[in-house]
Amino acid sequence: MMTSTTPLTEKKRRKWLVIGFCALTTSFAFSAFISPDGWSSPASFSDVLFQLRLRRVGMGVLAGMGLAGSGVVLQALLRNPLADPFIIGVSGGAALGGTFVLVLFSGAPLLFLVAGAGTGALITTLMLATFLVRSRRGGDPALLAGVVLNAFAASLITLAKTLLPATKAQALLFWLVGRIGYPSTTNLLITAGLILTPLLISVSRAGRLELMAFGDDEAYRLGIDVRRERLFFFFAASLMVGVLIPQCGLIGFVGLVLPHALRRLVDADHRLLLPLSALFGGAVVVLFDAASRGLFFILQTELPVGALTALIGAPLFGWSLVVEMRGNDLKDAAKN
Amino acid sequence: MPRAFFSFSSAKPPAAYAFLVGFFLSFSATATNPRSPQFLPSSSMPFPKMNSPAESPKSYSKVVSLAPVVTETLFSLGLAKNIVGVTRFCDRPSQAKHKEKIGGYVDVSLEKVLSLRPDLVIAMPSLGQRALLEQIAGQGIDVYVVFGDTLVEVKDLIAGIGAVMNKEKEASFLLAELEKGLKEAKATNAITKKSVLLLVAAAPLVAAGPTTFANDALRVLGLSNAAQKGPQWPVLSLESLAALSPDLIVVVSGPNDGKNVREKVTAAGLKVRILVPSKPILMRPGPSLHLDVQVLGKLLSSQPKIAQ
């Protein structure tokens, strides 16, 4: 894991958190006025469509915060830059649980889908947690187990897609690819509680995460109960992912790219990186979702936000890598 | 006609597991026929209500259609002016293309639908539309669901929409036309008792299986479907196609797929006659289904070596 080369100052932390907060609120305000017909200002704030959209934007904020936050936690926890919310197996378990409900109980209410996916996420979380607790070699066995679980889930989902009629397979694909819907107020509040609680507790313990990023032995010598902390952060990240996937599907790249970008651009210290990633994650997902909604009047469909994040996130990340490599080459040349 | 779409079964199973089975089945099954046209009851979800023109309007003036077959039926019933929104796949009749679009099958924009302020939404429910329909009904907008997999369901669909839109006479006329057209198709068909495989896609090979309107079209013509078992729309390999040993293959999806299927079948060395209509037929149900059946009947009868 990359760590900061210069110590993080409280002034810098505050400055960037204010920037992140401003980015989030600006994105929220901007997105609330993007409708399927383009820019729209509601007649009043009590307008039903506007209220519906506010709930969707709210869910987008939570999705972005949860995904980026869990991405940072997992990358530090597993000490693997490739770790993201969709590599640890919980996503596979949730997707499989949801698919199971969609296939067997196609007429069941939405709550069943959420319950099925949540159960899938919980089962895989518990399985992976046992790997994490028993492992004496950091998070590697858990990471590998997660990859294997994801592959297993993916094969079963492919099987379901093959056996299902075309329309059902299309609906399944659409759910899996990730989109943000219109939650009820109750649903939104419950989701907010389940995302923000583990996120805020993780932020308050981000210093321990920073120490754990140096390695288990180092953290242990510094007085950290590594096994307990590892388990806490793993459950916190899994809860965030497990709550989001049943409702929003698989919105990829936010949890992987954004933390990396901020680590390079701002600071690698988790006391700043974790809250900042969450704030920018919320802003980015909300903006991508607004783009998917606003493009409706051109495309006559709303692109799944998961497709957009990968479509734009992948080239951006590739570009940032190329820029960094060139920068390193130039530094090497200057040294020589 | 209005009946609970998601009602609990009235049966009283003795054991806990039977209750669970009944519980799940009840979401898609009603006491009589779960697949006849019916209203979706307003959800109790905590959504704010739309300012709809009336709580339960007797005549609907603004309708959103969530399926091409519904759009075509509404136009055929003379309700073009009442349609305020259609899917981007609604292209029949051609006027439907100029109507406001609300998305596709599974990617309907809830905001777009609501912004059109409809008093009725007619849908063919699919997996992806479940949450959407619940949310629309939760806004106090009437949601009418119809089915169109088989010929019987298509007839129910026409009659149901006619009844809801106070166009019973026009619906009866459409149904009479459909019956008459099907009888004519049967009369013109010279081939009977043949096993026919209807292909609706070439890559992969997808056939029309049982409980489809395409299967019913073959039955009307006195023919048997080579894909009588299995799923509604089975995906076939060349081997499984050969195993069905059809007397004839009709690529109903049209000339492009027809060429593709011919190449595949010839390369595999299978000896079976392949017929291809000049334009796609039987690709979707609707009030003009009999016209497609007539085209199929004429296509089959135009094969002198097969005609008996």
Q: Using one digit for the tens of pLDDT, what is the confidence trace for A34-58?
A: 888 888 776 666 677 888 899 999 9
Structure-model confidence comparison of residues B34 and B117, the more confident one: B117
Interface of A with B in 93-112 (CB under 8 A): 102, 104-110
pLDDT recorded at residue A90: 83
Are B130 and A110 inside 8 Å of each other by CB?
yes
- Checking B295-300 for CB contacts under 8 A at 24+ apart, the result is B296/B185, B296/B217, B296/B221, B296/B250, B296/B252, B297/B185, B297/B186, B297/B188, B297/B189, B297/B221, B298/B188, B299/B250, B299/B275, B300/B189, B300/B190, B300/B191, B300/B194, B300/B196, B300/B221, B300/B223, B300/B248, B300/B250, B300/B275
Please give the average per-residue pLDDT across A94-119, as a whole number: 77
User: Which of B51, B127, B131 is nearest residue A172 as measured by Cβ atoms?
Assistant: B127
What pTM was estimated for this model as a whole? 0.76
Q: Kind and range of the H or E element at B38?
A: strand B38-40
**By percentage, how much of chain B surpasses pLDDT 90?**
53
With a CB cutoff of 8 Å and minimum separation 6, the contacts of A105 are A112, B24, B27
Instruction: Classify the C-alpha dihedral B206-B277-B249-B217 as positive or negative.
Output: positive
Closest residue on chain B to A167 (Cα): B126
pLDDT band at A320 (very low <50, low <70, confident <90, very high): confident
Q: Which of B111, B132, B206, B235 to mutate to test binding with chain A, by most A CBs within 10 Å of its CB?
A: B111
Residue B285 has pLDDT above 80, yes or no: yes
pLDDT band at B19 (very low <50, low <70, confident <90, very high): very low
pLDDT band at A282 (very low <50, low <70, confident <90, very high): very high
pLDDT recorded at residue A241: 87
Structure-model confidence comparison of residues B306 and A109, the more confident one: A109
Please give the average per-residue pLDDT across B210-230, as a whole number: 92
Interface of B with A in 216-255 (CB under 8 A): 231-233, 235
Q: Does A171 touch chain B (CB under 8 A)?
A: yes
pLDDT recorded at residue A72: 93
The rounded mean pLDDT for chain B is 81
Q: Does A24 touch chain B (CB under 8 A)?
A: no
pLDDT recorded at residue A247: 83
Predicted confidence (pLDDT) per residue in B193-213, tens digit = 789 999 999 988 889 999 899
Structure-model confidence comparison of residues B88 and B132, the more confident one: B88
Structure-model confidence comparison of residues B134 and A42, the more confident one: B134
Predicted confidence (pLDDT) per residue in B40-82, tens digit = 764 433 333 333 334 444 689 999 999 999 999 999 999 999 9
Residue A295 has pLDDT above 50, yes or no: yes
Q: Which of A39, A163, A182, A289 to mutate to test binding with chain B, by most B CBs within 10 Å of its CB?
A: A182
